Amino acid sequence: MVNASIRRLFGALIVLAVLVLTGTLGFHALGHGRWHYSDCAYMTVITLSTVGFGELGNMGEVPGARALTVGLIVSGVGALAYVQGNLTALLVEGVIGQAWRRNRMKKAIDGLKGHIVVAGAGSTGRHVIEELIATRTKFVVIDRDRPHLERISEDMTGGKLLYVHGDATDDHVLETANVREAQGVIAALTHDKDNVFVTLSARSLNATARIIAKAVEDASMAKLMKAGATSVVSPAQIGGRRMASELVRPEVNEFLDQMLRDKDKNLRLEEIVIPEGSPFSGQTLKDTPIRRETRLLVVAVRGEDREFSYNPDPEFVLQAGMILIVMGDASNVIRLRELAQPDAIEA
């Protein structure tokens, strides 16, 4: 809407510029050079604006000069009214539109539960956002740079990104992102000290949330854990291991990249928690509808002892509280989560 107003305003200004040029050249031509170009331009401007301080010297002796003046007055009134109208519309639409969008976004954020709060939309945060979008996870982004947030919103979500403009180390900003109702927080700011503050604040506001913090320096990892982080990720460590893996096991890396990053294939490794009362509880893997209805591959199962059972046997008995690590299409993961709920009806 605002862009349309800008185009209309730009068009009106072009019309106005053409009128000024036409009037200037017209007066100069009618006067056969008796008036300087600057005088002709001045006469044109005061005529278009209907100010009318006076006429050019001996204007009454020049045939057609006053007729041109009348034409400019009529055209000028319409052109200036159009410019003023579009300028007013641009200002009103910009201010009111921004206020309306912010209010709508605030209501959407206030209504979230079980979402992820991403603190920082820099190079690391942007990759976090991409993954959360790919996995259809609800999230809110916090960053100090509003234009950067708006660009990410347009580029990655078509303007639908939920974000909070502000300092993520500020408790009030975290509360604006509804951190109390969040299931997780990702501290992905540039400096470790800021991530420590985010972790401390988030943990004080939400005692049960999983907090994943970024550490630039290895020495900061222990501090972040003490601050309340559930897990700490070092981009330098991950990058180094990945570079070594590219040489040692390139085919494995390519497989994982295609599975986790290829947007067309939409394959994912996901985790499914078996809740209390789930129809899966007490059943063997082969008796559940996992393969029959979702075609997902159960890669591992994590029990209450936190140990993984890799490539579990078809006779493996599932229990409430266990976590399934599955591989397959993201849409089928959503279906499996539905089937695992206590009120699910198996087909």
Average pLDDT over residues 207-219: 96
Q: pLDDT at position 66, please?
A: 79
Q: Mark out the alpha helices in the chain (DSSP H runs).
A: 2-30, 37-48, 65-110, 123-134, 146-157, 171-176, 192-205, 220-227, 235-248, 250-261, 330-340
Sheet containing strand 210-214, edge to edge, reads 163-165, 139-143, 116-119, 184-187, 210-214, 231-233
Q: Can you say whether the dihedral through the CA atoms of 307, 313, 318, 323 is positive or negative?
A: positive
pTM equals 0.62
Least confident among 31-45, 156-170, 203-217, 320-334: 31-45
Question: Residue 338 to residues 105, 290, 300: CA-CA distances in angstroms?
Answer: 28, 11, 20
Rounded Cα–Cα distance for residues 325 and 303 (Å): 11
- In the chain the first and final C-alpha atoms are separated, in Å, by 48
Tell me whether strands 323-329 and 267-273 are parallel, antiparallel or unpaired.
antiparallel
78-123 pLDDT per residue, tens: 887 877 777 777 666 665 566 677 888 999 999 999 999 999 999 9
Torsion of CA 124, 126, 132, 134, to 10 degrees: -120
Return the structure tokens found at 29: 């031509």
Q: Considering the chain, tell me which residue range(s) the CATH 3.40.50.720 domain(s) occupy.
A: 113-233
Q: Which fold has domain 2-106?
A: Helix Hairpins (1.10.287)
Sign of the Cα torsion 271, 216, 186, 107 reads negative
In percent, how much of the chain has pLDDT > 70? 90
What residue spans in the chain does CATH classification 3.30.70.1450 cover? 266-347
Residues 185 and 161: beta-carbon distance below 8 Å: no
pLDDT at site 67: 82
Q: Report the pLDDT value the prediction gives residue 347, as an integer from 0 to 100.
A: 45
More confident residue, 48 or 151: 151
Residue 198 in contact with residue 214, Cβ under 8 Å? no
Q: pLDDT digit string (tens) for 53-79?
A: 667 777 766 778 778 888 888 887 788
Q: Which CATH class is domain 266-347?
A: alpha beta
Q: What mean pLDDT is reported for the chain? A: 88
What does the pLDDT average to over 157-184?
A: 95
Where do the CATH 1.10.287.70 domains begin and end in the chain? 2-106
CATH class label, 113-233: alpha beta
The H or E element spanning position 301 is strand 297-302
Task: Dihedral sign for Cα 190, 196, 199, 205, please.
Answer: negative
Residue 131 backbone phi and psi in degrees, to 5:
-70, -40
